[in-house]
Amino acid sequence: MKNFKISIAWMAIFAMIFTSCSKDEAGVVSDDPETVQLKFRSLLNSFNDQNKQSDAECRDDAVPAYVMLGWSIDEDAETGDYDLHEVGLVDNNGSWETTYSEDLAVPAGIYYLQHFAVYDASDQVLWVAPREGGAFESEVGDALPMTIELAAGTKPYIDVDVLCYYAREEAAYGYPFFDFDVVEVENSYCIFVNYCDEETGREYPAYFNVDVFTDAAMTNEVVLNNDTNSISMSGNWPSASVLCFAMPDLGDDTYYARVTILNHEDLDYSADAGDFYDFTITQASIEALAQEEPAYHHIRIGCSDDPVISADTNIFIYFDSSGSMDNTLAPLQEMRNNLLKAALIGLYNHDETLYDDKVRVISDGSERTIDYLNMGGDTPTGDVIVLVFQDESVTSYTSSSTTWDSSSPRTATFDNDITTLRTRLNSFPANYYHGVIFQVATPNYSGTDNFAKLISYCENGDGNYAGAYGLSDRSEFGYVYDVTPGASATYYQNLIVTALQNLGYSL
């Protein structure tokens, strides 16, 4: 067996035992004699009190629960080229061993261990095997990727060095961007931040920390498992990691968070104490974020060109009430009254009356999409976001004929509506107005397909909907296609949040 130096502080050694195809203690036998069942046993050495890591990150009472590991047949494989497998750990008389897993039954051959991270039952990273290229590479005997040769009928023993995981030094372990966070952590909240520096005039991936409190005065702080992201160099350019931290089930409670920009030697911006962003976290916002793609809250600080939702923002949710999508109205109203309110109420000074006045669902059966976007000619004070949910526009803008397309004549109603909207858009100040069209895909209805085509023609400037008769030159708009009718309130909230993020809003 290979000998490793154990004098290195904060190092643990996992002896990874690769057994043959049978598992004696469970009576499991492989039908394939060429398959090798991998098994891992962990041996954690005591830690030196003088090591550079704090007791919080390198504690001797840590209890492993499972390991996330991944291997490839290509030594130079990148993240995404191989799968990660979660395998449970069990204490066998003081030795932590993996439980049997069919994922670890592999054919004989040569493999490269690419990823090895041990977690506790709370999904916190305990120990990580560093990779080549990271600052911690020299602290172990054989950094990943590690060559593993498996021969049928043999029982090789392979040691893997692991280090206690130090969150603020995430990049030093050598893993690619956001690699540890591909593990699903229940009820986690993830953040990515960009920072715009007035002095340099540039936008940067930010180095930041987050503080979370149970009270609006921000006096009762919540202890987080991870509160600071990391910066690493990718070629000549710095990159920032997404920060994920576990949260308890909040139930009906609201927590209050502050992201603060930090200075870093690899980033040439100069942040000060005033560079922070406050927001609220609710259970509804946690669950909504988990369904987003990407699944993190993207925040931009100091970037004056960003649209911002504030107490002055009017949000008008137009609903096509002509009859073909009536089953969508109730979940939209529920979404507005509950989930969206929970996510946005902090931006409206936690004033429900103000929210109810500013955020409204408007039923309109005219099927005039462009007139909805035009707010019927109104110009509210503050700024405006218009969200239109519609499935068809027969007679107003299109026909029900299957031959209708971009070369078909436009209707007089459409021409009037688009001309009026474009004229008003030119008069609005920057970031006063944004709109999103949600094309609802009502099944078995002839007008649905033509409406989807109409919106696509307007978005892309196709045929008779080019130039002044379309919206391809306007950056104020977003488009969401194939929306499911009659879905849940959470589904519609997720669509809205994603659409607004794509328009530049930090939510």
pLDDT tier, 435 (very low <50, low <70, confident <90, very high otherwise): very high
Do residues 336 and 299 lie in contact, with contact meaning Cβ atoms separated by under 8 Å?
no
Give the separation between CA 276 and CA 255, rounded to whole angstroms: 17
95: CB partners within 8 A, 6+ apart: 41, 42, 43
Q: What is the mean pLDDT of the chain?
A: 78
At 422, which helix (H) or strand (E)? helix 412-425
SS3 category, 222: strand
Q: Which residues pair with 194 in a beta bridge?
A: 205, 300
pLDDT tier, 8 (very low <50, low <70, confident <90, very high otherwise): very low
Same fold, 188-301 and 313-502: no
Do residues 180 and 240 lie in contact, with contact meaning Cβ atoms separated by under 8 Å?
no
Higher pLDDT, 433 or 326: 433
For residue 168, give both structure tokens. Answer: 């603020």
Give the separation between CA 72 and CA 94, rounded to whole angstroms: 30
Do residues 171 and 179 lie in contact, with contact meaning Cβ atoms separated by under 8 Å?
no
131: CB partners within 8 A, 6+ apart: 114, 137, 143, 144, 145, 173, 174, 175
pLDDT tier, 24 (very low <50, low <70, confident <90, very high otherwise): very low
pLDDT tier, 34 (very low <50, low <70, confident <90, very high otherwise): low
For residue 506, give both structure tokens. Answer: 């930090």
Give the separation between CA 191 and CA 404, rounded to whole angstroms: 45
pLDDT tier, 152 (very low <50, low <70, confident <90, very high otherwise): low
Tell me the mean pLDDT in the region 287-305.
72
Do residues 270 and 285 lie in contact, with contact meaning Cβ atoms separated by under 8 Å?
no
pLDDT tier, 186 (very low <50, low <70, confident <90, very high otherwise): low
Q: Is the pLDDT at 434 greater than 90, yes or no?
A: yes
For residue 79, give both structure tokens. Answer: 């993240």
340: CB partners within 8 A, 6+ apart: 359, 493, 496
Give the separation between CA 487 and CA 332, rounded to whole angstroms: 9
Distances (CA, A) of 283 to 187, 309, 340, 489: 8, 20, 12, 15
Domain extent listing, the chain: 11-182, 188-301, 313-502
The sheet carrying 477-483 orders its strands as: 359-364, 313-320, 383-390, 433-440, 477-483
Q: Inter-axis angle of helices 283-290 and 489-502, to 10 degrees?
A: 70
62: CB partners within 8 A, 6+ apart: 120, 126
SS3 of the chain: helix, strand, coil, percent, to 5: 20, 35, 45
Higher pLDDT, 135 or 302: 302
How many helices and strands, by DSSP H and E, does the chain display? 8, 27
pLDDT 10s digits, 106-129: 788 888 888 888 888 777 778 888
DSSP 30-71: -S-TTEEEEEEEEEPPPPPTTSSS-TTTS-TT--EEEEEEEE
Largest alpha-carbon pair distance within the chain?
Answer: 83
Q: Is the pLDDT at 148 greater than 90, yes or no?
A: no
In this prediction, residue 214 carries a pLDDT of: 93
Identify the residue whose tokens are 């696509």. Answer: 456
> In 3D, which of 61, 41, 55 has the Cα closest to residue 10?
55
> In 3D, which of 133, 459, 178, 493 has the Cα closest to residue 335?
493
In this prediction, residue 390 carries a pLDDT of: 93
Do residues 250 and 281 lie in contact, with contact meaning Cβ atoms separated by under 8 Å?
yes
In this prediction, residue 219 carries a pLDDT of: 93
Which fold, 188-301?
A: Immunoglobulin-like (2.60.40)
Give the separation between CA 243 and CA 259, rounded to whole angstroms: 11
Q: Classify each residue of 250-268 as buried b or exposed e, where b means 16 or more C-beta atoms within 10 Å of its C-beta.
A: beeebbbbebbbeebeebe
For residue 177, give both structure tokens. Answer: 């961007």
In this prediction, residue 28 carries a pLDDT of: 31
pLDDT tier, 350 (very low <50, low <70, confident <90, very high otherwise): confident
In this prediction, residue 183 carries a pLDDT of: 39
**CATH class of domain segment(s) 313-502:** alpha beta
Tell me the mean pLDDT in the region 206-219.
93
> Is 402 exposed, middle or buried, given 0-12, 13-18 or 19+ CB atoms closer than 10 A?
exposed
Do residues 37 and 104 lie in contact, with contact meaning Cβ atoms separated by under 8 Å?
yes
For residue 69, give both structure tokens. Answer: 């590991």
